[in-house]
Chain A
Amino acid sequence: MAALRDGDFGALQILLKAPSKDAVRQLCQECFSSPPAALGPLAQRACPGLAVSAQEAEQLVSALHNLTRHVVYRGFNRAEDILGLFPESFHQNLKNLLTKIILENVSTWRNEAQASQISLPRLVDLDWRVDIKTSSDSIARMAVPTCLLQLKIQEDAALCGNNPVVSALTVELSKETLDTMLEGLGRIRDQLSAVANK
């Protein structure tokens, strides 16, 4: 969990060496999205663009990661809240620029955080088909409608990193079992409406 550390604001002022506002914007986005383990390589990539030492790049990237994640964690969406994080002595223009960039991105970042938080495996796709069984080795003629359902389920994103494992579950449903399913789903829908109206 990102907490702002003492040296972070000092390190952020390294951004004054950035070539453009867009470069700052890009770096903010990359630092937010990067997991802590990938910050090292990110610093190495950012180094040449900023004309700073490797150590300064690392401190900067880490500070920016902490700042952006902290804002998302606290749920700040007003300029005052973000401005209030910076110490008095911090460079005014840089402070305003960073606040502006963060405000632009905070909703997207919040969604990103929610999508990658721990959870059970997630449903990613649902395909289905209705068949009629007309005969088999044991029954010559019949007309039994049946549903084939394929669920694509992605294992916990946090565990898989960049290579999420997607497994497919194929299930057959008869009319009866489909009705059972629908009944259950109907109850969830009713609960959702009840909760939404509170």
Chain B
Amino acid sequence: AADKIRLIPQDFLAELCEQIMQHLNHKIPGINTAELCQRIQTSGVDINIGDLAKIANTLSFLFSTAARNNLSTEELVTTLGSGVSTLPKHAVQVIRHVWNEQGKAIAVSEDAGNMATVGQFVDMKWKLGVAMSSDTCRSLKYPYVTVTLKVADPSGQITDKSFEMTIPQFKNFFRQFKEMASVLETV
């Protein structure tokens, strides 16, 4: 991961660190690794989402450990220097700067929402469509619902999961959620 980090331009690295800090501070539900990766790739840098995810994980761990141990900026930089492989200078600069600005503000105590061992639901996008025709049926008029769930995995990274439902399935889906909500009310 340390080698790949040298590929990331400074301003993108700063943005990634910003998102990580905001996530650790519960200001945002997750880190938009996929979206950021796409923008980095568009700028001409050859990095894949897996590598970026590993880097995000490492940085997240670094910042949260530093927060728990109440490290000052100097202590953090020293720790980085004595780490396994040397980070490029521009990366150290970014990390130092971000920590200096926001390190103290990270709330050390966790709230109930932070003990995720499963993905956290972030958002839902939907589409109602009608399939008109296909290679198997010339005239279909088949309605369906497409849903994209945005989920933040335990490390905070956001992934999308898309799937389709028939209308009866959707009605059942809706009914289940209403039941869940009413149980939540009474509990």
Contact = CB atoms under 8 A, between A and B. Distances in A.
A48 interface: no
Q: Chain A's interface: helix, strand, loop or mixed, by majority? A: mixed
Interface residues of A, number: 56
B180 A178 contact: yes
A78 interface: no
Contacts of A110: 137
Nearest to B183: A130
B137 A114 contact: yes
A178 B149 contact: no
Interface residues of B, number: 52
Contact of A188 (B142, B145, B172, B180): B145
Given A126-B173, A182-B181, A195 B120 contact: no
A169 B177 contact: no
Given A126-B176, A170-B118, A182-B178, A121 B112 contact: no
A175 interface: yes
Contacts of B172: 126
A146 B116 CA distance: 11
5 contacts: A120-B164, A123-B173, A136-B112, A139-B110, A177-B122
Interface of B: 109-113, 115-116, 118-126, 128, 131, 134-140, 142-146, 149, 151, 161-165, 167, 169-174, 176-178, 180-181, 183-184, 187
